[in-house]
Structure 1
Amino acid sequence: MSGYQIETIHDLIRILKDQPEWKEELRRLILTEELLALPAAFERFRQEEFKPLVERVDRIEGDVHVLKQDVAVLKEDVAVLKEDVAVLKEDVAVLKEDVAVLKEDVAVLKEDVAVLKEDVAVLKEDVAVLKEDVAVLKQDVAILKQDVAVLKQDVDILKQDVADLKQDVAKLKTDVGDLKGDNFQRKVRENAAAYLGRLISRARVVPHEQLADILEDAFDEGKINESERDDAMVIDLVVRGRLRHDKTREVLLATEVSVVADRHDVERAARRAAVIGRAFGLETIGVAVGQDRTEGAAEAAEALDVVLIV
């Protein structure tokens, strides 16, 4: 280098142009291996974000002037990167806070999940128990259905039995009523003087055979018609005697006997008294005798001039 005089940078540049091999050696001396590798590393770093710069870096020439310009650009880019890093730091700080909150939330969720797992386990046990209960209930329902079917059959039978019992009771009531009526009628017939003594004296019951003969004779003589004969034939009792208040008058008492004397008894006594009176040719008084009476019987007795004895 004694043949060259260097006073300015331009002198150095000119020498390097004359001696190209010096330029490469100088570059190795000035730049470290890290700086030599920096363009390639920076090119990879800027492949996506700093593509324009990478393209410019590819065009860097070996002179220092162009390198200074590129370094200036790099400084600007570094400044931008610093700003970006600052923003990133702020974002990271926010993210850290969010992560902390998320961690707390995750901790709470873990606790909730643990509780839910316990609840699910309990629910599974409950479901298992419920399934067993449902199975038992199904069996019970099946048995109940069978029991209900049997009960329905029993109810139908009971209904029929009740209906039969009602008929039997109704028949029994009728029979009891008839028995009471027959018994009371027998008592009145056997004790006619006692029951009818306030109306007549020397009371004598007209035998049914005699009554039938006289009614037949009256029918034959045209005094009564067939329906009147048949109706009078079934009168309960005919008693002959003399009136208490006028012993010169012999009368017949055409008597209807009933445990409870009602309007129909009174009407029959009046109707049959008229027929028997015509048949016997004697004054005949309609009489209704009962252990009790209805209001209708009292009204009919007064209207039809029938004696009501209770």
Structure 2
Amino acid sequence: MAVINTTSDLLKALRENPEWKDAVRAEILGERLQTLPELVSENTRQIASIGDKLDRTSNLLAALTERLDRVDAQIAALTERLDRVDAQIAALTERLDRVDAQIAALTERLDRVENRLERVENRLERVENRLERVENRLERVENRLGKMDGRHLESDILANPRSYIRRKDLSAVRSLSYDERYELSSQLEENEEEELDLLDAILEGETPTGEHLYIAVEASVTIEVHDLERAKRRAYFLAKATNTPVLPLVVADEPPSQRRIEEAMSQQVAIARKQRGIVVNAPFIR
């Protein structure tokens, strides 16, 4: 066995006996240092794992950076669009301001027009009131003229019955006096007597065959339905009072319409006109 006196002898012995290295190492370093290689290896593996994680993290960061770049680009595009929208809104706001100004101007004009219209309406109302008064006065004048024309027609019938009753229709025509009319109506009931007194004229005559008869005359400038009805009703009372045939007759100043002619024929009332005689004939009431 070799004698070890110096470190050189120790190192030489260790080289010659490699199996002593572990024993020497354990003796010198202790258990913790003996596990150092394993710790280093473990740390190396962990560092490698961390490196892999860092690589993945770097890749994720790169991807996130790329996505963030795209987001930035989208935000920039949205910002640009928003700027355009803001510009459009500003333009629309300006147009709306102009529209508001135009509406305000139109409203002002409309107010002036409405005020003018109100004044015109007031004037028109005054004109209408004046026209209504004129129409009322005109109606009264027309009524007075109608009454005057009616009285003139009545007077003409009483004075010239032959102008309305031709000889070919009746002969010996004359108008009854008020005394004669009174004697006839005195035989009737009071209401019938009043109706008979309202006849415009009572004419007396003979038919071509010599038959004695009366004519109950209603005079009207323009024939109305009530003229036909009155002539028929009063002719009936006259026939009742005299027990004599009576012709209901309406004398017209103006030509009767076709409708009035048809109504007269339907009610069996005769119509006569001056210088033309009986233009619509009717049967006698007996």
Same structural fold, with TM-score higher than 0.5 when normalized by the shorter chain: yes
Unaligned runs of 5+ in 2: 15-20, 272-277, 280-286
What is the number of equivalent residue pairs in this alignment?
250
**Residues 201 and 72 from structure 1, CA distance in 2 versus in 1: closer, same or farther, beyond 3 angstroms?**
same
Contact 2:196 2:234 in 1 (8 A): no
Task: Find out whether 1:295 has 2:262 as its counterpart.
Answer: yes
Instruction: Report matched runs for 1:152-163 at 5 Å.
Output: none
Q: Residue 196 of structure 1: SS of its match in structure 2?
A: coil
Contact 1:205 1:237 in 2 (8 A): yes
Q: Residue 98 of structure 1: SS of its match in structure 2?
A: helix
Q: TM-score, structure 2 length as denominator?
A: 0.63
Aligned-residue CA RMSD in angstroms? 4.6
Q: CA deviation at 1:88?
A: 1.8
Instruction: Report matched runs for 1:90-169 at 5 Å.
Output: 90-133=59-102, 135-136=104-105
Provide the C-alpha distance between the structure 2 equivalents of 1:114 and 1:238, rounded to a whole number of angstroms: 106
Say which is worse superposed, 92-101 or 132-141, in terms of deviation: 132-141
**Residues 4 and 270 from structure 1, CA distance in 2 versus in 1: closer, same or farther, beyond 3 angstroms?**
same
Q: Which amino acid aligns with 2:174?
A: R
Contact 1:256 1:268 in 2 (8 A): no
Match of 2:232 in 1: 267
Match of 2:274 in 1: none
Q: Which amino acid aligns with 2:180?
A: I
Match of 2:175 in 1: 205
Instruction: Report matched runs for 1:223-302 at 5 Å.
Output: 223-246=187-210, 251-258=213-220, 259-260=222-223, 262=225, 263-274=228-239, 277=242, 283=244, 285-288=246-249, 289-290=251-252, 291-292=255-256, 293-301=260-268
Q: CA deviation at 1:81?
A: 1.1
**Residues 234 and 92 from structure 1, CA distance in 2 versus in 1: closer, same or farther, beyond 3 angstroms?**
same
Q: TM-score, structure 1 length as denominator?
A: 0.59
Provide the C-alpha distance between the structure 2 equivalents of 1:113 and 1:226, rounded to a whole number of angstroms: 104
CA deviations on 1:254-274 (whole Å, 9 max, x unpaired) are 322233264414413422432
Q: CA deviation at 1:143?
A: 6.4
Q: Residue 260 of structure 1: SS of its match in structure 2?
A: coil
Q: Which amino acid aligns with 2:7?
A: Y
Q: CA deviation at 1:150?
A: 7.3
CA deviations on 1:64-109 (whole Å, 9 max, x unpaired) are 5454343222201111012112212321332243234223323322
**Residues 95 and 188 from structure 1, CA distance in 2 versus in 1: closer, same or farther, beyond 3 angstroms?**
same
Contact 1:238 1:255 in 2 (8 A): yes
- 29, 49, 52: which is aligned to 1:83? 52
Say which is worse superposed, 105-114 or 286-295, in terms of deviation: 286-295
Contact 2:264 2:270 in 1 (8 A): no
Contact 1:184 1:257 in 2 (8 A): yes
Match of 1:27 in 2: none
Contact 1:264 1:297 in 2 (8 A): no
Instruction: Report matched runs for 1:6-25 at 5 Å.
Output: 6-7=10-11, 8=14
Contact 2:204 2:214 in 1 (8 A): yes
